[in-house]
Amino acid sequence: MESRLKLQTLLEGIMGSRNVYFQPPSSTMMNYPCIVYGRSSTDAKYANDIKYHRKKQYQVTVISTDPDSDMPDKVEDLPLCKSSTHFAKDNLYHDVYMLYY
């Protein structure tokens, strides 16, 4: 849990606001631009059938009304972050990343 709270703080720092939502329910009213993130999976490393390293993977989505926002670049610059996809829906621009944290 502590690791996720550190990630929350890190993403809020990138946003410059508290518009960062962890696995929000569909009833949540979001303010844009924002970041929405949630757990995706876990990556584990093994040696001699023993797990010696584990990282949690998060799907991080930057949502903005500005197609030229610099927020996606700031998220993509995080270590162990990879771009997944980009799409537009309802005049909102979504950049999706997979982040190990």
pLDDT digit string, tens, across residues 16-34: 999 999 999 999 999 999 9
What is the greatest pairwise CA distance in the chain?
Answer: 51
pTM score, whole prediction: 0.88
Of 7, 29, 11, the closest CA to residue 20 belongs to: 11
Sorted by where each begins, the domain ranges of the chain are 2-100
Cis peptide before 79 (omega within 30 of 0): no
pLDDT digit string, tens, across residues 66-96: 999 999 999 999 999 999 999 999 999 999 9
Q: Go through the chain and tell me how many residues it has.
A: 101
Partners of 88 in the β-ladder: 93
Domain 2-100: top CATH class: alpha beta
